[in-house]
C-alpha cells in the first residue's frame, strides 16, 4: 500500500507494460473497486449516523464511519500532500542521516518512529475532551473528530513534521521566528508558556475530581509514586539499564496497588484517612509536581514515563478490543437539547464550543511541538513522514472516537449525573433525578446508587471532569468481556488509575518543562535565575511555575460551578491557538516553497480554527449569561452584594480568566497578521520566496 511517491514515475517508465497502462489491468480495476467500496461504506455509515433519529445506534456505525474515512483520507489526501505539496523524495537525506550523532539524530525504522510518535502525542486529552463534548450528543463530537482530523489535525502534524525534517529538526518556535518573523516567534514562545499553565491546571483538576472522596483511587494513585521511585533506584543502582525488566516489575506492582486500594477502601479504620477532599488533593498534586521538578529525572520522571507508555498502549488496545467485541449501542442521542448553549457540563452553543472542547483527537496544536521535537530527528526517510505524521494523528483520532463511544454507552441520565456540577444537581440522588428529568432525561436514583456500589465508590454524583464517567464506560465495556459485574469495581479503578497515571505524567513533566521555559525567560531579567544547575534558581523557578498553574487549579476547586466550565474552554482555546500558529507556519512554508496554489491545504483548517477560537474567546469574555461570560459572572457576583474573601476572590478569578482569554485572542491576531503580511509580500513578488529549507542532499540509506 505504501507507494514511494518519487519512485512511481520511474517504475512506470522502466516497466515494459508502461504503454499498456492506459487500459486498466485486472489489478487496477480490483484496486479501484476495493477503494470504491471503502469510500461508499464510510459515506454510508456517516449518513446513517447523521440522519437516523429516534432509535438507538450501534457503535459499529461510528467505528465503520471513522475507519473508512481515515483509510480513504490516508490513501488519497495524505498522498496528495506528500506528492503535490511537498514532493517528498526518498532520495533526499533526512537530518537523521546527515547529522547522525548517536544521540538525538538517529535514522530509525519507521514503525518504531510511528510508535514513538504515537506514544508521545497520545495522552489524557483525546480521552477527556470527547467525554465532555458528549453533552451535545454523539454526533457533533463524532463529525468533528472524523472531519477535523482528516482536513485539520493530521494535516497540521504532517506539515509541521515535514517542515521540521527539511530544517534539521527545528522546533515550532524557531520556525515561526525564521519563517514569519521575530514578533510571531516571541508571541509563540509566550503562548506556549500560557498553554502549559492552563493545560496543567485543568488536567490537575480532572485528577482531583477523579480521586475526591475515593480512598481506593487515592491509595492506588498515591502508590504509583513510590513504585516509580523503586524503579528509578532499581534502574540506577541495582540493575542499570534493564528498563524492560524493571518496567515489568513496575506493572506487577501497579496491579498490587490496585488491590491495596481495594483493601484500604474496605477497611473501616483506614478508609476515612484516605478519603480526601478536593482542596487537600489539589495541594498534594501541587506538592508532588514541585518535587518531581526539582529531584533528578532518573529518580521519578523517567521510570514513571516508561510505565505510563506501556499502560497507555495497553489501554488503547484493550479499549479497542472491548468496543469491537461488545459492539455496544450508543445510549446517548445524536443531538441533545444542549446544543442551544444551556449545557450543564460547560455552557456555550455547539458552535464554537464543541470544536473547543475536543482539541486533542481532532486537532491539537500541542502536537506541533512533538512533530518538531524528537520525531523529525529520527526519520530515516523523508517519505516516512506521511505515515508517522498523518497516520499517527489518525490513530489518535481513533482513540478519541473510542472515548466518545465509552462515554455514550452510559444512559444520558447516568452520564449527566456523573458529569454535571453539584450546583445544578444538588447533593442527593433524588435532587439529581429531579434536575435531570427537567432536562428531558430520566435517572433512576436507585440505579445510580447500584452503579456506584458496583464500581466500588460511595457515590458517582457530580464526579465532574470526565475521568470518572469514562472509567464507568470502560468498566462497562471491559467487564462485558472479562469478569462480569463482579469485576466492575476492579476495572473502574484500573481505568481511573491509568487516566491518573497519564495525567500525572503530563503534570510532572510539564512542570519541569515550564520551569525551564521560565528560567529561560527570566534570565533576561536576572541572569542567575537562568542557571539551570544552580539549586536556588531551580527551586525558585519551580515554585513560581507551580504557583502559576496552582492558582488556576485552586480556582477550579473552589468554583461553585465546578471549574471545568471555565478552565476546559480556556484550555481548548489555548490548544487551538497553538494549532493556528502551526498552520500559519505551515502556510508560510508552503507559499515560500513556491506552492502557493496549494496553500488552501493549511489555510482552510486555519480559517476554521481562527473563527472558532475568536468566537469562543469573545463569548467567554463578553457573553451576557453569567454561566458563559467571565465578565458577566463577575458582575452577577458583585450585584449579589455579598462581600467576603471568597466572593472577591471569585470576582478576581473571573477577571483573570477573561484576561487570559483576551491574551490568547490577541496572540492569534498578532501571529495571523504577521503571517498574512508575509504571504502578501511573497505572492506580490515584493519579497523573494526564499524559505530556510536545507537544500537537497542525496541520502546514503538504501530504501
**571 neighbors 351 (Cβ within 8 angstroms):** no
371 or 461: whose CB is closer to another protein?
371
SS3 335: coil
- Pull the grid cell for residue 396: 489518535
Q: Which of 6, 220, 381, 541 binds another protein (CB under 8 A)?
A: 381
- Pull the grid cell for residue 656: 483573570
Residues 124-153 binding another protein (CB under 8 A) are 124-125
Q: Which stretch binds another protein (CB under 8 A): 373-381, 423-431, 438-446, 660-668?
A: 373-381
CA 131 to each of CA 49, 141, 401, 467, 613: distance values in angstroms, whole numbers, following the listed order = 18, 9, 10, 8, 20
Helix axes 564-592, 600-622, angle to 10 degrees: 150
Q: Which of 244, 266, 287, 324 binds another protein (CB under 8 A)?
A: 244
Q: Which of 338, 366, 492, 554 binds another protein (CB under 8 A)?
A: 366
Q: Is 44 an interacting residue with respect to another protein (CB under 8 A)? A: no
Q: Which of 121, 393, 424, 433 binds another protein (CB under 8 A)?
A: 121
Q: Which stretch binds another protein (CB under 8 A): 24-32, 504-512, 626-634, 658-666?
A: 504-512
Q: Which stretch binds another protein (CB under 8 A): 33-41, 66-74, 502-510, 664-672?
A: 502-510
Q: How far is the CB of 513 from another protein (least distance, A)?
A: 5
Exposed e or buried b per residue across 572-593, where buried means at least 16 C-beta atoms within 10 angstroms of its C-beta:
bbbbbbbbbbbbbbbbbbbbbb
Residues 259-318 binding another protein (CB under 8 A) are 297-298, 301-302, 305-306, 309-310
Q: How far is the CB of 241 from another protein (least distance, A)?
A: 7
Q: How many residues bind another protein (CB under 8 A)?
A: 64
What is the DSSP-derived secondary structure letter of residue 458?
S
- Pull the grid cell for residue 231: 524503579
70 or 568: whose CB is closer to another protein?
568
* Interface pattern 64-103 for another protein (x via CB under 8 A): ------------------------------------xxxx
313 or 687: whose CB is closer to another protein?
313
371 or 488: whose CB is closer to another protein?
371
d(CA 516, CA 226): 25
Q: Which of 373, 426, 483, 522 binds another protein (CB under 8 A)?
A: 373
What is the DSSP-derived secondary structure letter of residue 329?
E
32 or 242: whose CB is closer to another protein?
242
Q: Which of 42, 123, 348, 556 binds another protein (CB under 8 A)?
A: 123
Q: Is 120 an interacting residue with respect to another protein (CB under 8 A)? A: yes
Beta bridge mates, 628: none
Beta bridge mates, 698: 92
Q: Which of 37, 273, 325, 700 binds another protein (CB under 8 A)?
A: 700
Q: Is 367 an interacting residue with respect to another protein (CB under 8 A)? A: yes
Q: Which of 46, 63, 85, 203 binds another protein (CB under 8 A)?
A: 203
d(CA 14, CA 36): 29
* Interface pattern 572-611 for another protein (x via CB under 8 A): ---x------------------------------------
- Pull the grid cell for residue 512: 519541569
Q: Is 119 an interacting residue with respect to another protein (CB under 8 A)? A: yes
457 or 508: whose CB is closer to another protein?
508
Pairing of strands 57-58, 329-330: antiparallel
Query: Is the Cα dihedral 524, 529, 532, 538 positive or negative?
Result: negative
Q: Is 185 an interacting residue with respect to another protein (CB under 8 A)? A: no
Q: Is 177 an interacting residue with respect to another protein (CB under 8 A)? A: no
190 or 532: whose CB is closer to another protein?
532
Q: How far is the CB of 173 from another protein (least distance, A)?
A: 9
Element (H, E) at 604: helix 600-622
For residue 156, count CB atoms less than 10 angstroms from its CB and return exposed for 0-12, middle for 13-18, buried for 19 or more: buried
**158 neighbors 382 (Cβ within 8 angstroms):** no
Backbone dihedral angles phi then psi of residue 379, each to the nearest 5 degrees: -65, 125
Q: Which of 182, 226, 240, 594 binds another protein (CB under 8 A)?
A: 240
What is the DSSP-derived secondary structure letter of residue 346?
S
123 or 148: whose CB is closer to another protein?
123
Q: Is 115 an interacting residue with respect to another protein (CB under 8 A)? A: yes
Q: Which of 11, 15, 58, 109 binds another protein (CB under 8 A)?
A: 109
d(CA 350, CA 464): 20
**474 neighbors 319 (Cβ within 8 angstroms):** yes
Beta bridge mates, 108: 379
Q: Which of 2, 10, 34, 104 binds another protein (CB under 8 A)?
A: 104
- Pull the grid cell for residue 336: 441533545
Q: How far is the CB of 664 from another protein (least distance, A)?
A: 16
SS3 108: strand
519 or 555: whose CB is closer to another protein?
519
CA 201 to each of CA 204, 238, 329: distance values in angstroms, whole numbers, following the listed order = 5, 36, 34
Q: Report which of 576, 569, 668 is spatially closest to residue 628, judged by C-alpha positions.
A: 569
**146 neighbors 72 (Cβ within 8 angstroms):** no
300 or 668: whose CB is closer to another protein?
300
Q: How far is the CB of 31 from another protein (least distance, A)?
A: 23
**234 neighbors 300 (Cβ within 8 angstroms):** no
Q: Is 495 an interacting residue with respect to another protein (CB under 8 A)? A: no
What is the DSSP-derived secondary structure letter of residue 625?
S
**Runs of H (alpha helix) within 458-534:** 467-481, 488-522
69 or 381: whose CB is closer to another protein?
381
d(CA 641, CA 199): 33
Q: Which stretch binds another protein (CB under 8 A): 110-118, 316-324, 492-500, 649-657?
A: 110-118
Q: How far is the CB of 170 from another protein (least distance, A)?
A: 11
d(CA 152, CA 600): 11
87 or 701: whose CB is closer to another protein?
701
Residues 539-568 binding another protein (CB under 8 A) are none
**Runs of H (alpha helix) within 182-332:** 182-211, 215-233, 243-266, 270-274, 278-294, 301-326
Q: Is 509 an interacting residue with respect to another protein (CB under 8 A)? A: yes
Residues 626-665 binding another protein (CB under 8 A) are none
Q: Is 111 an interacting residue with respect to another protein (CB under 8 A)? A: yes
Q: Report which of 124, 141, 282 is spatially closest to residue 203, judged by C-alpha positions.
A: 124
Residue with cell 489526501: 77
Q: Is 22 an interacting residue with respect to another protein (CB under 8 A)? A: no
What is the DSSP-derived secondary structure letter of residue 24?
-
Q: Which stretch binds another protein (CB under 8 A): 145-153, 348-356, 511-519, 599-607?
A: 511-519
Interaction site with another protein (CB under 8 A) = 100-104, 106-109, 111-112, 115-116, 119-125, 171, 192, 196, 199, 203, 240-241, 243-244, 247, 297-298, 301-302, 305-306, 309-310, 359-360, 364, 366-367, 369-370, 372-374, 380-381, 505-506, 509-510, 512-513, 516-517, 532, 575, 700-703
Amino acid at each position: 500500500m505504501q507507494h514511494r511517491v518519487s519512485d512511481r514515475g520511474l517504475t512506470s517508465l522502466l516497466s515494459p507494460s508502461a504503454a499498456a497502462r492506459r487500459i486498466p489491468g485486472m489489478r487496477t480495476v480490483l484496486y479501484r473497486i476495493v477503494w470504491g467500496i471503502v469510500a461508499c461504506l464510510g459515506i454510508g455509515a456517516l449518513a446513517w449516523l447523521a440522519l437516523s433519529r429516534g432509535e438507538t445506534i450501534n457503535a459499529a456505525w461510528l467505528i465503520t464511519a471513522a475507519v473508512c474515512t481515515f483509510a480513504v483520507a490516508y490513501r488519497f489526501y495524505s498522498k496528495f500532500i506528500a506528492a503535490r505539496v511537498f514532493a517528498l523524495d526518498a532520495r533526499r537525506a533526512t537530518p537523521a542521516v546527515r547529522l547522525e550523532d548517536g544521540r538525538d539524530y538517529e535514522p530509525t525504522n519507521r514503525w518504531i518512529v510511528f510508535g514513538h510518535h504515537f506514544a508521545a502525542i497520545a495522552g489524557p486529552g483525546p480521552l477527556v475532551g470527547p467525554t465532555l463534548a458528549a453533552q451535545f450528543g454523539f454526533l457533533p463530537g463524532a463529525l468533528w473528530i472524523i472531519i477535523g482530523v482528516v482536513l485539520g489535525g493530521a494535516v497540521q502534524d504532517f506539515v509541521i513534521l515535514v517542515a521540521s525534517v527539511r530544517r534539521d529538526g527545528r522546533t515550532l518556535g524557531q520556525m515561526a521566528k525564521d519563517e514569519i518573523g521575530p514578533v510571531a516567534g516571541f508571541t509563540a514562545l509566550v503562548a506556549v508558556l500560557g498553554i502549559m499553565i492552563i493545560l496543567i491546571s485543568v488536567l490537575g483538576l480532572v485528577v482531583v475530581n477523579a480521586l475526591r472522596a475515593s480512598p481506593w483511587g487515592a491509595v492506588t494513585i498515591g502508590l504509583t509514586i513510590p513504585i516509580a521511585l523503586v524503579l528509578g533506584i532499581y534502574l540506577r543502582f541495582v540493575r542499570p539499564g534493564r528498563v524492560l525488566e524493571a518496567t515489568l516489575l513496575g506493572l506487577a506492582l501497579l496491579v498490587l496497588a490496585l488491590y491495596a486500594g481495594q483493601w484500604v477502601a474496605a477497611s473501616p479504620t483506614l478508609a476515612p484517612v484516605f478519603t480526601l477532599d478536593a482542596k487537600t488533593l489539589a495541594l498534594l498534586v501541587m506538592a508532588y509536581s514541585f518535587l518531581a521538578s526539582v529531584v533528578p529525572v532518573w529518580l521519578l520522571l523517567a521510570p514513571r514515563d516508561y510505565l505510563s507508555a506501556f499502560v497507555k498502549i495497553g489501554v488503547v488496545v484493550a479499549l479497542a478490543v472491548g468496543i469491537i467485541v461488545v459492539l455496544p449501542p450508543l445510549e446517548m442521542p445524536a443531538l441533545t437539547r444542549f446544543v442551544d448553549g444551556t449545557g450543564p457540563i460547560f455552557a456555550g452553543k455547539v458552535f464554537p464550543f464543541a470544536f473547543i472542547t475536543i482539541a486533542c483527537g481532532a486537532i491539537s496544536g500541542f502536537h506541533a511541538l512533538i512533530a518538531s521535537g524528537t520525531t523529525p530527528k529520527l526519520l530515516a526517510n523523508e517519505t516516512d513522514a506521511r505515515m508517522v505524521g498523518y497516520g499517527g494523528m489518525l490513530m489518535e483520532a481513533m482513540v478519541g472516537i473510542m472515548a466518545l463511544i465509552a462515554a455514550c454507552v452510559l444512559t444520558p441520565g447516568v452520564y449527566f449525573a456523573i458529569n454535571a456540577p453539584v450546583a445544578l444537581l444538588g447533593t442527593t440522588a433524588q435532587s439529581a433525578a429531579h434536575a435531570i428529568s427537567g432536562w428531558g432525561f430520566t435517572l433512576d436514583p436507585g440505579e445510580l446508587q447500584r452503579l456506584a456500589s458496583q464500581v466500588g465508590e460511595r457515590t458517582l454524583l457530580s464526579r465532574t471532569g470526565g475521568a470518572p464517567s469514562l472509567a464507568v464506560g470502560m468498566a462497562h465495556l471491559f467487564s462485558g468481556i472479562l469478569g462480569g459485574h463482579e469485576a466492575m469495581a476492579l476495572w473502574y479503578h484500573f481505568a481511573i488509575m491509568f487516566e491518573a497515571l497519564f495525567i500525572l505524567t503530563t503534570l510532572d513533566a510539564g512542570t519541569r518543562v515550564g520551569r525551564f521555559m521560565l528560567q529561560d525567560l527570566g534570565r533576561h531579567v536576572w541572569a542567575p535565575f537562568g542557571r539551570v544547575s544552580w539549586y536556588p534558581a531551580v527551586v525558585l523557578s519551580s515554585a513560581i511555575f507551580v504557583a502559576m498553574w496552582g492558582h488556576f487549579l485552586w480556582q477550579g476547586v473552589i468554583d461553585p460551578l465546578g471549574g471545568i466550565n471555565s478552565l476546559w474552554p480556556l484550555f481548548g482555546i489555548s490548544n487551538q491557538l497553538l494549532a493556528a500558529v502551526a498552520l500559519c507556519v505551515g502556510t508560510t512554508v508552503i507559499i515560500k516553497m513556491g506552492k502557493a496554489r496549494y496553500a488552501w491545504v493549511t489555510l482552510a483548517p486555519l480559517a476554521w480554527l481562527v473563527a472558532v477560537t475568536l468566537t469562543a474567546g469573545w463569548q467567554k469574555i463578553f457573553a451576557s449569561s453569567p454561566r458563559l461570560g467571565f465578565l458577566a459572572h463577575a458582575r452577577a457576583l458583585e450585584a449579589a452584594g455579598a462581600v467576603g474573601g471568597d466572593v472577591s476572590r471569585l470576582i478576581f478569578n473571573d477577571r483573570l480568566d477573561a484576561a487570559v482569554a483576551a491574551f490568547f485572542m490577541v496572540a492569534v491576531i498578532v501571529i495571523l497578521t504577521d503571517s498574512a503580511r508575509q504571504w502578501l509580500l511573497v505572492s506580490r513578488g515584493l519579497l523573494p520566496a526564499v524559505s530556510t529549507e536545507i537544500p537537497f542532499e542525496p541520502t546514503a540509506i538504501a530504501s
